[in-house]
A and B are shown apart, each in its own frame.
Chain A
Amino acid sequence: MSPLVLLLSLLVLSVAGFLIGRQKALDLARREGGASRLHSLPAYYGALTALWCCLPAFFMFLIWLGFEQSIVTGLMVADLPEEARALPPARLNVLINDIRSLASGNIVSGEVTPLMRDAAAQYISLKGIGRMITSVIVLVAAVAGILAVYRGIKPRLRARNHVEKVIMGLLVVCSTIAIFTTVGIVLSILYEAVRFFQQIPVAEFLFGLEWSPQMAIREDQVGSSGAFGAVPVFAGTILISAIAMLVAAPIGLMSAVFLSEYADRRLRMVAKPLLEVLAGIPTVVYGFFAALVVAPLIRNSGVQLGIDVSSESALAAGLVMGVMIIPFVSSLSDDVINAVPQTLRDGAYSVGATRSETIRHVLIPAALPGIVGGLLLAVSRAIGETMIVVMAAGLSANLTANPLQAVTTVTVQIVTLLVGDQEFDSPKTLAAFALGLVLFVGTLFLNIIALTVVRKYRERYE
């Protein structure tokens, strides 16, 4: 049975369980003389039956789904002939991948040998047997759940309490997914990054000035050792983010001030949704725009002025990224400016200050922590932004502060290192995870500072 069919039949069984359980409760109530003799409403007896039908079975289904691939592959490898199993691990992996793609009908990298064909047939049959066994176990578990609860339904069964306890447990599990995600991110990135640092020392990665992650395929190749000094990559990231913030911070802040203090309702009704449209445009669209319109524009105007501008200049990517962040800065600043109590404004007006004086000398100082927090979040956004820089910034790591030259960023490097075919033990691919670790830790740091600052600020005026 395919997983989808299995899930559907589980659903059908659960509905049946609900109906059966409720029917038995109703019958009991009639015999005992009225529904008030039951501890809970009849529907709760049905729900309890349905829960015991689907939850354990679904859990088993998930376990199988998670480990199907590794178990089946392990069994298949054990059945391979001796000479295939004696291959070095890397070659064996290639072979296994080929067999798997042969089994699923995809393109195979090399020639199809009879050995592979046999193994693929074996793989398919093992998978089929595995699916069949799981289907039987899952369905038996479901039916057993129904029967167990059905026999236990009595007027004094505290069905509602049981159901509520189970549901509460589900709610708790759902709310801990955020924790599991964070843990998953940290562990997976850390694990690969540690493998990288076993080959390249941490100090060389963090402080080295040369970045060229090309590893030789053969030992005797020219330039066979890659250089993994990430400083130029960090510098490029900072340069582009700085340009973006130079655009976004003043424009975003002034838009927020204007919209909340000067604009009348009509203008606000028009301008706010327009800013939201700007925020809703996918980053890949900004990237396309930066690469195809803004970068040539800057390059051509540079040629007119007689300045040498790279066609993948940091300026183009930074400018467009800045525009992307404007609505983000503006909406965060809008929130904090609105949170400043009206009494502060009234006080300033009453001593004769003009509006702009009130804003500059009263509102902004009062809202400063919140604004700084918002700007920090914006910086973290700029650092982590991927598509604009992948499409508009360069690949070569130049250590420069000149915005007219091409630089590369952490995210660009992660994408270029990981897109395409990869083997998972060369420093080249592992370097992407080391960069990812730096990116995650850096943005985490900024986010936590920003979120605490903003929260403290909110509490001050609440």
Chain B
Amino acid sequence: MNKSAGKSVARSSSGRGRTIDIVNKGLKSRYRKEKRFRFYGLLSIVASVVFLAFLLSSIVLKGYSAFLQTYIKLDVSFEAGMLDKQNPGRSDFQGIVKAAIRDYYPDVTGRQDKRDLFSLFSSGAAFQLREEVLNKLPEEGSSISLWVLADDDVDMLMKGHMKRDVPEGERRLNDKQLRWIERLEEEGRIALRFNTTFFTAGDSREPELAGIWGAVKGSFYTMLVTLVLSFPIGIAAAVYLEEFAPKNLATDFIEVNINNLAAVPSIVFGLLGLAVFLNFFGMPRSTPLVGGIVLMLMTLPTIIIASRAALKAVPPSIREAALGVGSSKLQVVTGHVLPLALPGMLTGTIIGMAQALGETAPLLMIGMVAFIVDVPGGFTDPAAVMPVQIYLWADSPERAFVERTSAAIMVLLAFLISMNAVAVVMRRRFERRW
């Protein structure tokens, strides 16, 4: 019952004025309250949306510059004896790069100055040169010009994350280094170009050499294990519980277990993986195999619950019709119910996989936080996954890793959004109402 309505009835019976007057008197403040309440509701929606916009825009603003990378043009001339003739891949490329830098800045002497000068170039420059040499096999005495990676400090300077006008002690590049960079700028030898390394390399301690590809591949293998295990098991469990299970204590217990597992903190699954799979069964640490199994246990409840909802939506008349023409119970399910429920099950599976793709905590427990440079090539190679890579980079002190973390987040979100979009499209296309 409404309180104010009750009050007005009570007053009118005591004989002080007509009810309608009392109602009218209170109406203004009640409408004001109504408006205020409505405003609060709108405010809370707006608050969430504003936060979302704030989060996404700050990540994009921090991260978009990571898709570009500073390169420096270097003229390399190959004098006699510089290249190993028998085996050009084993020449001293570090030395050749240094010689090329010295040629460009002949006036730089002094040990400390030279060290400062070389530190403007990434240690990856030698590898770039090696690749170029192996591709082109230049003659002795010839020279090539090559865009090589700049060091991350130079990169930060070029992108404006490091101020030039602050006192020398407050920035990571000294005044001399700034002058050298200015000379490069005047001659157009330093430029921002598309950062292919970021999409093709594994992790690295040097920000300019670090890439997301190793983590993407690790995520791929992990998700493959999760999918292959959780999809059939989840569907089988859902089919049994929804279509065949007798209503008794045992199935009730299973049901309580599934609902509860869906709400258990994900880190607990990590503890399980550590104690059972790593310590008891002695499976290899940091591998997509173990990660996939742990994530499978975690996503299974989601898939089972979604699949059961999809099975429930199939009307009983279809089952009865199939039974009526002589199908066995299992034939009813495999021949009629399952095909009709499959789109819903797939949608649930995709949503579960998206959850698993963004999960970090249980993977930390099974050692997937190791620093892994190599791009994994299989299920039992040590690997990082995308969210763990984000966590690792977020922990790194270099300024250049901040933008790389944001860029990695963008890549991860792109994957998640496309997975969810597929789920939404599937739901729209295959949803049937009887």
Contacts of A381 in B (CB 8 A): 263, 265
Is A284 in contact with B360, judged by CB distance below 8 angstroms?
A: yes
0/1 interface trace, chain A 349-377, chain B, CB 8 Å (1 if under): 00111111111111000000000000001
Contacts of B2 in A (CB 8 A): 348, 351-353, 357-358, 361-362
B434 within 8 A of A: no
- Contact residue among A175, A188, A258 (Cβ-Cβ distance under 8 Å from B271): A188
The bracket for how many chain A residues form the interface is: 35 or more
Given contacts A360-B37, A387-B361, 10 further A-B contacts (CB under 8 A): A178-B300, A181-B261, A181-B297, A259-B45, A282-B357, A282-B360, A283-B358, A433-B275, A444-B260, A444-B264
A442's nearest neighbour on chain B, judged by CB, is: B265
B279 within 8 A of A: yes
- Contact residue among B34, B40, B275, B282 (Cβ-Cβ distance under 8 Å from A192): B275
> A209 CA to B282 CA in the complex, in Å?
37
> A192 CA to B240 CA in the complex, in Å?
34
- Contact residue among A278, A283, A293, A444 (Cβ-Cβ distance under 8 Å from B52): A278
> A358 CA to B30 CA in the complex, in Å?
12
Q: Which of B80-88, B127-135, B405-413 contacts A (4 or more CB under 8 A)?
A: B405-413
Contacts of A179 in B (CB 8 A): 253-254, 257
Is A258 in contact with B44, judged by CB distance below 8 angstroms?
A: yes
A383's nearest neighbour on chain B, judged by CB, is: B265
Q: Which of B159-167, B313-321, B387-395 contacts A (4 or more CB under 8 A)?
A: B387-395
Is A274 in contact with B52, judged by CB distance below 8 angstroms?
A: yes
Question: B311 to chain A: closest CB distance in Å?
Answer: 13
0/1 interface trace, chain A 61-99, chain B, CB 8 Å (1 if under): 000001001100100000000000000000000000000
Interface residues of A (CB under 8 A from B): 66, 69-70, 73, 104, 160, 164, 167-168, 170-172, 174-179, 181-182, 184-185, 188-189, 191-192, 250-252, 254-255, 257-259, 262-263, 271, 274-278, 280-289, 291-293, 323, 326-327, 348, 351-362, 377, 380-381, 383-387, 390-391, 411, 414-415, 418-419, 424, 432-433, 436, 439-440, 443-444, 447-448, 450-451
Is A189 in contact with B268, judged by CB distance below 8 angstroms?
A: yes
> A422 CA to B5 CA in the complex, in Å?
68
Is B276 in contact with A443, judged by CB distance below 8 angstroms?
A: no
Interface residues of B (CB under 8 A from A): 1-5, 23, 30-31, 33-34, 37-38, 40-45, 47-49, 51-52, 55, 58-59, 62, 232-234, 236-237, 239-241, 244-245, 253-254, 256-261, 263-269, 271-272, 274-276, 279-284, 297, 300-301, 304, 328-330, 354, 357-361, 364-365, 369, 387-388, 390-391, 394-395, 402, 405-406, 409, 412-413, 416-417, 420
Is B233 in contact with A177, judged by CB distance below 8 angstroms?
A: yes
Secondary structure at the A interface, as helix, strand, loop or mixed, is helix
A421's nearest neighbour on chain B, judged by CB, is: B367
- Contact residue among B244, B275, B394 (Cβ-Cβ distance under 8 Å from A189): B275
> A283 CA to B265 CA in the complex, in Å?
12
Question: A76 to chain B: closest CB distance in Å?
Answer: 13
Contacts of B413 in A (CB 8 A): 281, 285
- Contact residue among B1, B33, B42, B417 (Cβ-Cβ distance under 8 Å from A258): B42
Is B34 in contact with A285, judged by CB distance below 8 angstroms?
A: no
Contacts of B240 in A (CB 8 A): 168, 171-172, 174-175
> A443 CA to B268 CA in the complex, in Å?
11
A446's nearest neighbour on chain B, judged by CB, is: B263
Question: A375 to chain B: closest CB distance in Å?
Answer: 13
Is A175 in contact with B5, judged by CB distance below 8 angstroms?
A: no
Is A326 in contact with B31, judged by CB distance below 8 angstroms?
A: no
Is A443 in contact with B45, judged by CB distance below 8 angstroms?
A: no
Is B391 in contact with A287, judged by CB distance below 8 angstroms?
A: yes
- Most chain A Cβ neighbours within 10 Å, of B1, B55, B58, B388: B55
> A432 CA to B364 CA in the complex, in Å?
13
